[in-house]
Amino acid sequence: MRRPNRLTGDVPPPPALICDGGGTVPPDILAVELDDATAAYVCAVQPAFDLLRQAAGQLAGLLVLSVACARNAGAHPMFELACEAEAEARDAIRAVGISLPPQAAHHHSHMLSANRSLTAALASAKRDLHRGDDRAIDAILVPLRRAYRELQHAAFALPGFEIVALSQGCCVAHAHSARGT
């Protein structure tokens, strides 16, 4: 029996997306004019955003390994790399938040929330990933999806941040056409 795909399930798009009748598109974020302090914030926090995105992807990969019955997924070196990336991102986010420009406050709140959720997901993974049962996977997956959603919100809050929406990827479209949906 196959498990439902809970990694790329129906994640609603961030509220900053606008429906144009043929799908969703981001608002014209490139038209936003940034003051010097906000531009400096974007440059400073970009590496932290990338680290959070990287750690979330690594943890998602470990979940795939766990679901595929890899008994040592919790001991995989990728888990330690994800934890290190999250810790480095957390330090950078906190350091940047000391002198936060007003135009960056909304973005920063999403970064903090993504970091908190990812921290919770990693803590659950450390505790439960070796089990691999549905309850353990859900304990990791719920905060991981929340972290990813917060990263999506952050990506649309200011220019210069990019995230791939797995639910909109090429392979998803192929899967839908193969199923006739």
Closest C-alpha to 120, from 138, 137, 144, 136: 144
Summarised one tens digit per residue, pLDDT across range 61-101 is 888 877 776 566 556 788 899 999 999 999 999 998 788 89
Give the CA count within 13 Å in the CB-facing half-sphere of 82: 27
pLDDT surpassing 90 at residue 41: yes
C-alpha distance from residue 84 to each of 65, 128, 136, 162 (Å): 20, 19, 22, 21
What are the sequence ranges of the domains in the chain?
34-179
Nearest to 45 by CA among 116, 95, 117: 95
Over residues 135-155, the pLDDT tens digits come to 888 999 999 999 999 999 999
pLDDT at 18 over 50: no
Whether CATH 3.40.50 fits 34-179: no
Residue 48 pLDDT: 96
Contact 17, 24 (CB under 8 A): yes
The Cα–Cα gap between 86 and 50 comes to 10
